[in-house]
Structure 1
């Protein structure tokens, strides 16, 4: 069976009904203009296929169309040679040799935007890494940000903040329960029209499938799902914190025999390759302090809803625990900052110095400009004053002789209603007003 061509003349003929626009569309368009092969990757259920369909003009759905899978396995050259471009090969790992076929066709015809591949497993990374050089760009899709789900106005631009523009906007204050509901629901495209309880049931099933099936597929060997579940709960308890593998191993002993170092390391690696775990790397400036900088990453799942599901708590219970709510909100903020940062070619890190100072998020542009972000639940004046003081103190200890001074200091709040620039140079931005 050949790939099915889409109707001629339509701008986006395969875009599904009900498709929600994604910020990553710009990244995908840029990639399609630059190289012949584009790989859209990310966690299961984050919307990779629908994003790819919004740009494809021909499709081969290997997971849902047995005929397309048979054609890809037995007649890959013929299957990939027909129809308008780009051609989407969805879940391409089910017929991995299509990758080499696409590479060969790209070598013959040096045009761009020929093939779109999607996949949630990274086990075939060695294939794409070695045979895609010069032909391939990757676009990582994360779960939706608050802007994409309609829960942020986007009036305050991350790019504008980096450019030093003034910050002024008004918003509405969510309740603690509403914030907890947003965290529990997550940024999954299927969830906005479901109840929070239904979303949480789906997420519990998601983690169960990850532990029972996906880890085995990713690693090629059998794993004990109960042990994987204990590690997921340990990770959830340490979201937005620096937690060593040794600490995670000890914490798995809270509800069973603790996992050894080798097992923890193996599971963490597999969960990262499945795009379930996405740690936040440390930023490494030169410091005035004689104490060495702490270089450990902060633990984050790709969406805080997975952490809440692993812990088995609902929005009311989460809202009633300010410490837990604060950690999960920080993880939600990191998710959104990553989505917005990707769109404007900026990277997100965290920073801790040897004196115990911390910056929750460092946003760094490719040209070296950077800004420091403190993530804060509360927004009353005393809390903001204290956060601003601590943020300025940490930044003052950074050796900026090579980095340059930060272009912005930002306090990103959950419950704020007004985005504004303080007299001390610190900008206060409610997350419900933030966008790229």
Structure 2
């Protein structure tokens, strides 16, 4: 129960701002995200004491015998992997009720617990902060010259050609944004991630809702998600791909989402000038693009030679960073597709004032950029902007190259220049 201090070698994270703000506003802050994304390391930058529930049976037994005593200590008090011990939530909530202070507890968790009813009873006492793996800006592979916040304000887009090469981008994709793997060669990191996925299939999916699952079936679904990454694959499509029934696929996928391994971008629903109906299906991604590569055992060299598939995994990389940068600016991320085939890979919109940008993701190349720009311009013409206003920016995100503004107003920027 020693006082917690800064972690040696810790890399600053964008989640620190929301955590600090939340600690000033409520009694307890829950930091959620996939296992090994850095939640505990980040929470320790704020904690004065800690209880590590995943460190063995001693702390769990102590909580079972005397929960009030376990919750006592200098604040903020970190309760790491709190969902592993039934009763932690209610005991913490009661403690917040009894004490008027702010910033009493910091909870970290890598899964939604099975009892969502008690979990949601923290209204007014608890704020949640979502963490993901490190963005390229956090890992030092993006210059951050093109700020999403500035772009939302209509600011210009300009960036020098970065030192990060296409080969570097591929290796960053395979290694992922996991803090513990940041200094490893991409091939070694991928071996660790393969073991990570095996553990999820074997243990974590069953634990998240206390329901026995078939590890082989879960692994098959993870591979199917990897084959269909950055797509609107339905339950039926995935079920046909892995030879499982639709209900089983739905249950497995929901478990993976509760573990923060898989996530989705919901469809954007603006008012259109035309009568073309919009698609409703979400787009599916992994929490980190490295998981798609690890699931299919596709290394960096192979990805560089299979650019069609790498384009899909690269979109996952860009979306991961956009989720984080958007969150830092109070924005939501959607995707857009209508039934005529017109699409935008990402729509970033700020609910507070309605400001929005439309984004297409391309590896690069003059022809691909031209096609993406034309698609974005058609989308702008098709959206009824009388209510939400025109887009703050139309943006094509590429893997490498300069950041610049085209003559038609569409901006182009490499992911290695994006930042919050």
Same fold (TM over 0.5): yes
Cα pair 1:233 1:307 within 8 Å, conserved: yes
Cα pair 1:241 1:298 within 8 Å, conserved: yes
1:16 maps to which of 3, 7, 15: 7
- 1:398 counterpart = 2:388: no
Pair 125,397 (structure 1): closer, same or farther in 2 beyond 3 Å: farther
**After superposition, what is the alpha-carbon deviation per residue over 1:82-131, rounded to whole angstroms, capped at 9, x for unaligned?**
x2210001111232323222211211212110001111121245155332
Partner residue in 1 for 2:204: 214
Deviation for aligned residue 1:384: 2.3
**After superposition, what is the alpha-carbon deviation per residue over 1:175-218, rounded to whole angstroms, capped at 9, x for unaligned?**
44322211110010111111111111111101101111011111
Partner residue in 2 for 1:309: 294
- 1:414 counterpart = 2:399: yes
1:167 maps to which of 148, 157, 173: 157
1:31 maps to which of 22, 27, 48: 22
212-221 or 95-104: bigger deviation? 95-104
Pair 142,220 (structure 1): closer, same or farther in 2 beyond 3 Å: same
Partner residue in 2 for 1:289: 274
Partner residue in 2 for 1:9: none
Partner-residue secondary structure (3-state), 1:169: coil
1:136 maps to which of 104, 126, 132: 126
Partner residue in 2 for 1:426: 410
Cα pair 2:93 2:125 within 8 Å, conserved: yes
72-81 or 32-41: bigger deviation? 72-81
Pair 167,34 (structure 1): closer, same or farther in 2 beyond 3 Å: same
2:76 maps to which of 86, 107, 112: 86
Deviation for aligned residue 1:173: 6.0
Partner-residue secondary structure (3-state), 1:286: coil
Cα pair 1:61 1:69 within 8 Å, conserved: no
Whole-angstrom CA distance in 1 between matches of 2:169 and 2:304: 8
1:243 maps to which of 233, 245, 248: 233
2:356 maps to which of 370, 378, 383: 370
Pair 51,240 (structure 1): closer, same or farther in 2 beyond 3 Å: same
Whole-angstrom CA distance in 1 between matches of 2:163 and 2:120: 49
**After superposition, what is the alpha-carbon deviation per residue over 1:376-403, rounded to whole angstroms, capped at 9, x for unaligned?**
101x433322221121012211122222
Partner residue in 2 for 1:265: 250
Whole-angstrom CA distance in 2 between matches of 1:125 and 1:185: 34
Whole-angstrom CA distance in 1 between matches of 2:163 and 2:370: 19
**After superposition, what is the alpha-carbon deviation per residue over 1:343-374, rounded to whole angstroms, capped at 9, x for unaligned?**
11111110001211000100001221101011
Partner-residue secondary structure (3-state), 1:412: strand
1:115 maps to which of 105, 108, 123: 105
Whole-angstrom CA distance in 2 between matches of 1:339 and 1:166: 21
- 1:344 counterpart = 2:329: yes
- Could you tell me the TM-score, scaled by structure 1's length? 0.93
Whole-angstrom CA distance in 2 between matches of 1:79 and 1:271: 31
**Which runs of no fewer than 5 residues in structure 1 stay unpaired?**
7-12, 253-257
Deviation for aligned residue 1:5: 4.3
- 1:148 counterpart = 2:138: yes
Partner residue in 2 for 1:327: 312
**Which runs of no fewer than 5 residues in structure 2 stay unpaired?**
none
Cα pair 2:143 2:162 within 8 Å, conserved: no
Partner residue in 2 for 1:10: none
Deviation for aligned residue 1:67: 3.5
Cα pair 1:215 1:270 within 8 Å, conserved: yes
Deviation for aligned residue 1:320: 0.5
Cα pair 2:144 2:418 within 8 Å, conserved: yes
Partner residue in 2 for 1:255: none
Pair 294,314 (structure 1): closer, same or farther in 2 beyond 3 Å: same
Whole-angstrom CA distance in 2 between matches of 1:128 and 1:54: 28
Give the number of aligned pairs: 419
Pair 365,227 (structure 1): closer, same or farther in 2 beyond 3 Å: same
Deviation for aligned residue 1:161: 0.5
**After superposition, what is the alpha-carbon deviation per residue over 1:4-51, rounded to whole angstroms, capped at 9, x for unaligned?**
242xxxxxx522111111011001011111100111111111011111
Mapping 1:4-83, distance limit 5 Å = 4-6=1-3, 13-64=4-55, 66-81=57-72, 83=73
Whole-angstrom CA distance in 1 between matches of 2:17 and 2:56: 29
2:167 maps to which of 177, 197, 201: 177
Cα pair 1:171 1:432 within 8 Å, conserved: no
164-173 or 280-289: bigger deviation? 164-173
